[in-house]
Every structure is written in structure tokens, then in C-alpha cells.
Chain A
């Protein structure tokens, strides 16, 4: 199976290189997607180290950066991709555990670590999970495998409206008839000081509001 590892990156430079080198030991095809980082000079260093990258001129958001990778993988005839965060949170061993799921023919394989995050996170996740009726316990996980069929579907239409690679993507993927699967993996605490998706309280509230609106609008 020809797999591509997608590493979406937004202002992640000092932590990125060791992560990529670890990955390189296990996977041959890696693609870094720079989602409009403030300082792009590190891309030259990446080139020197022999890593491929896509350079998006401005910040589109995590999910949109991943979709860019999907489109690349589709034109390059890959059978599937694995999304892998560049902040040191994910381990190559975790990515390896995604592979069998894709080989068995599942369309979206999610690496879950239920011990991740504080109790507030877990509590919110539990409620949103119950409300959505998805039955995916770690839907915010960024370590995921997507099959070719999934990539074809997820790069069109209403999927372009989404901001986060999370519940919304999974909810709509399930609705499209794609097969979802969860695999337990171990994750590290991230090396960067802060989460890139949730840097402050307002961003968490914004996320909760958007996700709740999403669920209410589609489940009523």
C-alpha cells in the first residue's frame, strides 16, 4: 500500500525537525504542508534535509491544509494518507498502528488516546460525542488515516466549509457511508508550549459554539 504522511505545520519550526527525522525512519513518503507560517525561511532548511513540502501562501486552518495534502495525494496516486501533527504529540509507532486499519479497507482510521487532556476536555468530549451520536471517543485526534476513497469525498463541497479536523469531518464522513474505525495509540505531551488550535479560552469557546451549532443544525 502506497501511503503518504501529511504533516500540517503552522509556526512549528524548532520542534519540527526531530519529529520529521523520527518519522523518516519508518515511512518513506512524507509531505510537510506549511499553512502560512509567519517565518517561512525554515522551508529552505527542510529542502536541504531532503523533505518535501507544500507552501500555502496564507493561513487556511488545519483542516484546509490537510485537504491540500489530500489533493496532492490524489493526483500522485497514493492509496491513502496518514495525518501527523508536527508538534511532537504523535509518535511514529502510533502512525504504524493506523496502517493495518487502512489495509483492512477502513476509510477513516482514528488514533485515539483517551488519557489526553484535562478533565474539562474529557467532559466536553463526552458530551459532544453523546450529542452527535457518532460513538467516536477521541474525535479531536489529529492522528488519522484516510483511504483514497475518503480523500476523494472529503475534498469536495460541504467539507470545504469545515474549519477543524474533528467531529464535523467524522460526522459527515459517516453520513457519506465511509467506514470509520478507532485504534488506541499512545501520545506524548506536545513540545510546543501551547496548542496551535486552542491557544486561549476564547478559541475553546468558539470551537464549542461552532461544533454545537454544527450538531444542532444537522441532528434536528
Chain B
């Protein structure tokens, strides 16, 4: 049988390696690694020196030390969870704002295109002898065509 200190040490090391790998692959942003590293450190420290937990339990008046461990663990997870909820709410608002903006932009681009084709046509009608309309505008755009503005940005 191996010492429990080795078990918890390995557990902590595994947490660290997983976080580093996720950061390396770009799955986890560096700024979110902080809390996970903190958790890894707590696991290692409490695992290798369980005396600390006993001392804290005595100080806070908890008679059964492992119960304190669970209280701390649940507390930390609750904080993490709350943080994620706040984060999700913020993101939802931002996505809504972005979509509204994109929708308005799409509409504006469509209107501009329509205006341009109308102008190109009126110029053509006024000067029937000239071919091709405006300089460089040989291809007047169809009004009901989907504007490709967002697509051209992301490409």
C-alpha cells in the first residue's frame, strides 16, 4: 500500500497537467486557468499536510475535520458556479447587442445597394449612348440578393 500523500500528490499533478494541456491547445484561456490552479494547489497542500485541515477544524469548532473539507469544497464549487452564471448572463446580453447591430447593418447595406442600383439605372437612362453605366460598376446588384457584408468580414 502506498502513502496517501503520493495519491493526493499525483491527483494534484494531474489537475495541473490537464489545465496546462488545455491552455496549450487553446481550449482554455489563460485568465481562467487561475482558479483551477488554485484548486490544484489546495488539493496538493491539504493532501500532503492534512494537519492543516485538523488545525482549521479545531479553530472553527468543527468536531469532524473531513466534514470541513466537504464544506470548503462545496463552497468553492458554488462560487465557481455563480461566476459562470454571471459570465453566461453577460455573454447573452452581448450576443443580443451584436445580433441587433448586425441586423441593422444588414438592412443599411441592403438599402445602400438598392440606392446604388437605382442611381446607376437612372444614369443609364439619361445617357442611352453609353454602355456599362458608372465607371467600374458594370454589374449592378440585384436588390433582393442577400448582402454579403458579414461574410466578407469573417473570411
The verdict on A157 contacting chain B, using a C-beta distance below 8 Å, is yes
Given A57-B98, A58-B97, check contact A214 B153 (CB 8 Å): no
A134 to B: closest C-beta gap in Å:
17
Residue in contact with B30 in the complex, picked from A57, A75, A210, A220, CB distance below 8 Å: A210
With the chains together, A75 CA to B152 CA distance in Å? 8
> Quick one: CB contact mask for A194-220 with B, threshold 8 Å, 1 for yes?
000000000000100111011011101
The verdict on A71 contacting chain B, using a C-beta distance below 8 Å, is yes
Q: How large is the interface on B (under 10, 10 to 19, 20 to 34, 35 or more residues)?
A: 10 to 19
Given A209-B34, A210-B30, A213-B30, check contact A75 B153 (CB 8 Å): yes
B25 to A: closest C-beta gap in Å:
8
Contacts of B153 in A (CB 8 A): 71, 75
The verdict on B137 contacting chain A, using a C-beta distance below 8 Å, is no
> Quick one: CB contact mask for B4-36 with A, threshold 8 Å, 1 for yes?
000000000000000011011010011101100
Q: How large is the interface on A (under 10, 10 to 19, 20 to 34, 35 or more residues)?
A: 10 to 19
Contacts of B23 in A (CB 8 A): 213-214, 217
The verdict on B115 contacting chain A, using a C-beta distance below 8 Å, is no
> Quick one: CB contact mask for B91-130 with A, threshold 8 Å, 1 for yes?
0001001100100000000000000000000000000000
The verdict on A41 contacting chain B, using a C-beta distance below 8 Å, is no
Asked whether, in the complex, the Cβ of B94 is within 8 Å of the Cβ of A58, the reply is yes
Contacts of B97 in A (CB 8 A): 57-58
Given A57-B98, A75-B152, A220-B20, check contact A213 B26 (CB 8 Å): no
> Quick one: CB contact mask for A60-74 with B, threshold 8 Å, 1 for yes?
000000000001000
Interface centre among A161, A213, A218 (most CB of B within 10 A): A213
Given A57-B98, A58-B97, check contact A206 B31 (CB 8 Å): yes
A172 to B: closest C-beta gap in Å:
10
> Quick one: CB contact mask for A146-163 with B, threshold 8 Å, 1 for yes?
000000000001100101
Asked whether, in the complex, the Cβ of A214 is within 8 Å of the Cβ of B20, the reply is no
A62 to B: closest C-beta gap in Å:
14
Asked whether, in the complex, the Cβ of B33 is within 8 Å of the Cβ of A213, the reply is yes
Asked whether, in the complex, the Cβ of B30 is within 8 Å of the Cβ of A214, the reply is yes
Closest B-chain residue to A216, C-beta based? B20
With the chains together, A71 CA to B152 CA distance in Å? 10
Contacts of B101 in A (CB 8 A): 57
Residue in contact with A218 in the complex, picked from B24, B33, B98, B152, CB distance below 8 Å: B24
Q: List 21 A-B contacts (CB under 8 A).
A: A57-B101, A58-B94, A157-B26, A161-B26, A161-B29, A161-B30, A206-B31, A210-B30, A210-B31, A213-B33, A213-B37, A214-B23, A214-B30, A217-B20, A217-B21, A217-B23, A217-B24, A217-B30, A218-B24, A220-B20, A220-B24
Q: What 5 additional pairs, Cβ within 8 angstroms, besides A163-B30, A210-B30, A213-B20?
A: A57-B101, A211-B30, A217-B23, A217-B30, A218-B24
Q: Residues on B close to A: CB < 8 A?
A: 20-21, 23-24, 26, 29-31, 33-34, 37, 94, 97-98, 101, 152-153
